[in-house]
Structure 1
Amino acid sequence: MASRDSSDRDGLSRRCVWVNGPVIVGAGPSGLAVGASLQARGVPFVILERSHCIASLWQKRTYDRLRLHLPKQFCQLPGMPFPDNFPKYPTRKHFIEYLESYSTKFDLNPRFNECVQSAKYDETCGLWRVRTVAGDGATAAEVEYICRWLVVATGENAERLVPDIEGLQDFAGEVIHACDYKSGKEYRGKKVLVVGCGNSGMELSLDLAHHSAFPSMVVRDSVHVLPREVLGKSTFELAAFLMKWLPLRLVDRILLLLSWLVLGNVQKLGLRRPPMGPLELKYAGGKTPVLDIGAVGKIRSGEVAVVPAVRRFFRSKVELADGRMMDIDAVVLATGYRSNIPFWLQETDFFCKNGFPKQPFPNGWRGRSGLYAVGFTRRGISGAALDATRIADDIAGLWREETGEAKSLVGCRQRHVYSLVK
C-alpha cells in the first residue's frame, strides 16, 4: 500500500492511497466476514467504515431486548463459531461481543470515521476510485483509495426508511424511528402507535406492553406470523430440514399448519396472511415472515391493539383508514431501512435503483470490473457468510494470479495512480 498527499482547492487536505487488494465498504457483519475470509487466504485489504465502531447498526441503532431471531449456529461468521456458553438465541450484547472478538481474532482493523462519498470504476486505468471524507470539521480530510476490487458491504439496512404520512409533521408528541428506540420503560402509561408489523414492529409492541404502555400496532398489509420454535425446535431449522426432502409449497403448508396449532388462527386477530406461503414469499420478494416471541399472546389478551393503516395525523390524534380517530402520545416508526448504495456508487449494471443487486440469490454477489456485493441476499447473516466466502475465494484466485504473473503491472498502476492526483 502506498499513499500520496495533495491539496484540495477548498482547503481540505487530500490523500491518494493505493490498495494492493480490495477495498471493503462497511464494517458490519458482512464486511467483517469478507475481511476475515480474505485474511485467511493471505489477501491484503482495507475496510472503510463511516461510523466510529464496527457493526454500528447493532451498537447504536438497536433496542435493548433484541436477540438474534435464529439459533446461533445459523448466524456465525466464517472461521469462528459462537462460544458454547452463549445462549441459543444470543442477545444484542452477546452478538456485539462476538463481532468484536471476531475483528480482534482476524486483526481486521477497519478505518473508522471514513464516509464514502463516491466510488467509480475508471475505465482508463482499469481501477476503482473510492473517495471518502475522513474526520469532521477542521480535521476533515479527503482520501481517494485506488484499488483493483471493490466489495460493497453496507448492507440492506444502511439508512432508516421514514414514510411520508399526511400530518406527521404536525403531530405534537414524540416521533421516533425504531432505530432510536431503546426500551419501553420510557413510555410507561402512554398510548404509543407503532407503525409497522414486521419483526421490529411486533417486538417493540411486545416490549411496550411489558413496560405497561398501551401500544397500538398498525397492520397495513398481510403478514405471515410463525412461532419462533415448535416443540423446542427452531422453525427455521425445521424448515431447512424439510426443504431437503420436500417441495417448497408443501413445506409452506406444513409450516402454516404448525403455526395454526401453536398460535391459533391469527387472522381473527387482524393479522391477515398473504396468499403466497411464507417461504415462497421470502424467496420471491424477500419479505421475511415474523417469528413470534410473545407478541401474538399480547394481541390476544388485548395488551397490544391491532389497527389498520394510518390516513393522517393531527396534533394529538391519528385518523385510521377505517375512519376511527385515536388519541396517542407517541409514534414509533417500525418502517424498516433501505440501502444507501444509489447515493454513492456510480454504477448502473449490477445494482437496481433500490440499491439491491439485479440478480437474485444466489447470483447477486459478483458484478463486472471487480465489483462485489455482500449482505444483500435478504437471508440474514447466514446468507452474508456464504457470499463472503465466495467473494474471498474469487478475489484470492485473481489476486494470486495478478501478483504472481504481473508484479510489474502493479508498479505501472501505482505510477498511474500518482499521476491521477497531480
Structure 2
Amino acid sequence: MSELYDVIVIGAGQAGLAAGYHLKKNGLKFIILEANSEPTGSWSQYYDNLRLFSPAGYSSLPGMPFPMKSDAYPTRDEVITYLKSYAEHHRFPIRFNVRVERVERNVLFNVYTEGGEAYRAKNLICATGSFNRAFVPELEGSKLFKGNMIHSSEYRNPDSYRNQRVIVVGRGNSAVQIGAEISEVAAVTTLAVLQPVQLVPQRLLGKDVHFWMTIIGYDSFPFWRFGVNVGSPGGAIDVGGFKKMLKSGQLQQKNMFKRFYSEGVIWSDGTKEQIDSIIFATGFRPIMPYLHGVEGALDVRGYPIQKGGLSSTVLGLCYLGLSGQRSFASATIRGVGSDAKYVVKQLKRRGLG
C-alpha cells in the first residue's frame, strides 16, 4: 500500500511552492507532484521580453524576498531563476516529471499518474492555476483566414513580425505590451478591443501603483466573500510609453472586428483590412481533467466549484492560483502566498480528515 500523506499538491509553479511553504511551516506530511522537470509553472512559456508589472518588493513568495532592489521590475528569466532558487532553498518534497492522470476519492484521495504510480492523501490541493488552457474566442470566418493566427502564449518576440500588418486582440497588460513591442518593427499594429484601452500610470506621486493598491487594500480585499470574482482589472499598466504610442498612432486601437475573410478581417463599420498575423491575448481558462473522476468537483464547463479556494462540494479538496480566487492578486506571484496561508489554515482547522 502506498504511503499516506496529509496533503498532496498537484503542480510546483508559484502556487504549489507557496502551498509547500505553509504546509512545511505547519509540520504537515505532504508531497508536490510536478509534470515538468522544473518548478517554474507557466513562466518558461511566456514571451521573451515579459517583465513583471509589479516591482520586486511586491513580488515575492512567502519566506524568501525577491533578490533584487525592491523598486526594480523582474524579467521573465529572473522570475524563473527565483522560483528554482525558492524550491531549492526550502527543500520541498517535489517529484518532477510526474503528470497526474486522474484522481479518485473514496474517503481518501487516490492520485494516479501517467507513469502508473499511485499516491494517497487525506487532502488534495490543486495548484495547476489559471494559465494552462489558452482561450481563443470562436469568430466567424476564422477557418477562412490564410494568415498566421496564434494565442499570446505562443508569442515569443517581435522578430518574425517585421513589416507585417498585425492585430493583437485584447486590452490587458499582455495585449498592450505585446502590441507595443511589435509596433516597433511592424508596418501596422492594431489592438482589437471591445472597449478602449484603459491605461494606469506605473507610478503615482513617485510611488509604484502597487504601493497605492496595497495602501487602499484593493490588492487584497476579499471580494470573494461577497460573491464577486475580480480576476482582472480590465486595464493595463503603462510600463513603456504606451500612452504616447497610442496617441501617435504607432499602436492603433479599433473596435473588435466582426469576422474574418481569407486575407484579413472585416471591422465593425464594414471596412475590410488585409492582415498578415493575428495574436489573441484573450487570457486563459483553468483546466483540471484529472478531477473528472471526483464527483461534484467541477461544473459543466470544467471549472472548479469553490469559494476562496475551498471546494464547495468535496471535503478536503482545495485550489490555489485561480484568477480572482480570493483577491485581485490571487493568480499573481505577489498574491498567491496569502491564499496558500488561508487554505492550509482551513485544512488544519478542519482536522485534515
Q: What is the CA-CA distance between 1:398 and the residue it aligns to?
A: 6.6
The ranges of structure 1 where at least 4 consecutive aligned residues each deviate by more than 6 angstroms after the TM superposition are: none
1:388 to 320, 333, 340: 340
1:297 to 244, 255, 262: 244
Contact 2:38 2:84 in 1 (8 A): no
Structure holding more helix per residue: 1
Q: Give the aligned partner of residue 283 of structure 2.
A: 336
Q: Give the aligned partner of residue 66 of structure 2.
A: 82
1:198 maps to a residue whose letter is G
Q: What is the CA-CA distance between 1:300 and the residue it aligns to?
A: 0.8
Q: What is the CA-CA distance between 1:164 and the residue it aligns to?
A: 1.0
Contact 2:30 2:93 in 1 (8 A): no
1:240 to 187, 204, 214: 214
Contact 1:153 1:373 in 2 (8 A): yes
Aligned residues: 337
Q: Which digits, 9 at most, give the CA deviation of each residue in 1:315-347, with x for residues without a partner?
A: 222111221111111111111100002663444
Contact 2:103 2:290 in 1 (8 A): no
Q: Give the aligned partner of residue 261 of structure 1.
A: none
Q: What is the CA-CA distance between 1:291 and the residue it aligns to?
A: 1.2
1:340 maps to a residue whose letter is I
- Equivalents in 1 of 2:205, 2:186: separation in Å? 30
Between stretches 30-39 and 226-235, larger displacement belongs to 226-235
1:337 maps to a residue whose letter is F
1:311 maps to a residue whose letter is K
1:127 to 97, 108, 132: 108
Q: Give the aligned partner of residue 276 of structure 1.
A: none
- Structure 1: any 5+ residue segments left out of the alignment? 4-16, 134-140, 249-281, 403-422
Q: Matches of residues 107-118 of structure 1 in structure 2 within 5 Å?
A: 107-118=91-102
Give identity over the alignment, percent. Answer: 30
Q: Which digits, 9 at most, give the CA deviation of each residue in 1:233-256, with x for residues without a partner?
A: 111211321349xxx9xxxxxxxx
Q: Matches of residues 219-298 of structure 1 in structure 2 within 5 Å?
A: 219-221=193-195, 224-243=198-217, 285-288=230-233, 289-293=235-239, 294-298=241-245
Q: Which digits, 9 at most, give the CA deviation of each residue in 1:45-88, with x for residues without a partner?
A: 121222332223101x2111111111222221111111135762
1:72 maps to a residue whose letter is A
Between stretches 200-209 and 371-380, larger displacement belongs to 371-380
Q: Report the secondary structure of 1:47's partner residue.
A: strand
Q: Which digits, 9 at most, give the CA deviation of each residue in 1:148-175, with x for residues without a partner?
A: 1100111111211121112222222211
After TM superposition, the score normalised by the length of structure 2 is: 0.86
1:214 to 163, 188, 196: 188
2:237 maps to a residue whose letter is L
2:336 maps to a residue whose letter is A
- Equivalents in 1 of 2:208, 2:231: separation in Å? 20
1:156 maps to a residue whose letter is S
Q: What is the CA-CA distance between 1:213 and the residue it aligns to?
A: 4.7
1:225 maps to a residue whose letter is L
Q: Give the CA RMSD over aligned residues.
A: 2.6
After TM superposition, the score normalised by the length of structure 1 is: 0.73
Distance change >3 Å, CA 381–CA 84, structure 1 → 2: closer
Q: What is the CA-CA distance between 1:42 and the residue it aligns to?
A: 2.6
Larger Rg: 1
